[in-house]
Amino acid sequence: MRIKVFWAWFDLWIGVYISEGHRLYICLVPTIVIQIYYGDLNLRLKQILRQLNMKRETK
């Protein structure tokens, strides 16, 4: 998961937006945007669970 805060002069909105590219945009103050990229999180969790299952099966 990556979090990025940036200023965008053209973003004059307040709210939450979820894009198709595994990104969550939160704009609590107009032009100040918090971007959360959560695409890697799901992949990493699947990898961890797969490794745990493999370890459990070998015992």
The count of domains in the chain is 1
Q: Is 22 exposed, middle or buried (0-12, 13-18, 19+ CB in 10 A)?
A: middle
Q: Could you tell me the CA-to-CA distances from 9 to 5, 30, 41, 57 in Å, in that order?
A: 13, 8, 29, 54
Mean pLDDT of 25-49: 83
Q: Bridge partners of 33?
A: 6
**Is 70 exceeded by the pLDDT of residue 45?**
no
How large is the average pLDDT for residues 30-48? Answer: 80
Q: What is the pLDDT confidence band of residue 47, given thresholds at 50, 70 and 90?
A: confident
Q: How confident is the model at residue 28 (pLDDT cuts 50, 70, 90)?
A: very high
How far is Cα 26 from Cα 32, in angstroms, rounded to an integer? 9
Whether the model clears a pTM of 0.85, i.e. scores above it, the answer is no
| Per-residue pLDDT, 10 | 92
Give the domain extent around 21: 2-58
Token pair 């053209």 is at which residue?
A: 10
